[in-house]
Structure 1
Amino acid sequence: MVGIGVVTDVAFAFGFNDLSHFSRVFKKAFTVSPQRFAADVRSRISRPEH
C-alpha cells in the first residue's frame, strides 16, 4: 500500500531533506499533492478498469 511513508521515502530518494518542500515542488509539477496522488493510485489499483 502506498502511504505517507512511501512519499517520504521518495522525497529522500530524490534528494529532498524537507518533506514540505518536496510536497510544494511535487504539487507545482503535477498539480496534485503527493498524498492525493498516492490515494488516487491506491483507488485505481483497488478498482481496475476492464
Structure 2
Amino acid sequence: MTRKAISWEILGICQQLCGDRHGAYQSYLHALDDDFNYFKHATVERIDSLGI
C-alpha cells in the first residue's frame, strides 16, 4: 500500500468519524484507485459500513 492510499484511507476514516459520509466515500474510492492498495477488502468493508 502506498503512502497515497494510506493517506486516503486515514482521511476517509476521519471524515466518517466526523459524520461526513459522502466525503469518506470519496476518499475510500480514491484509496481503491491505487493499484498497490493491499487492503482493498478492508476499504470495501469501510464503504459498506457507510450505508450509501
When the two structures are superposed, what TM-score results if normalisation uses the length of structure 2? 0.30
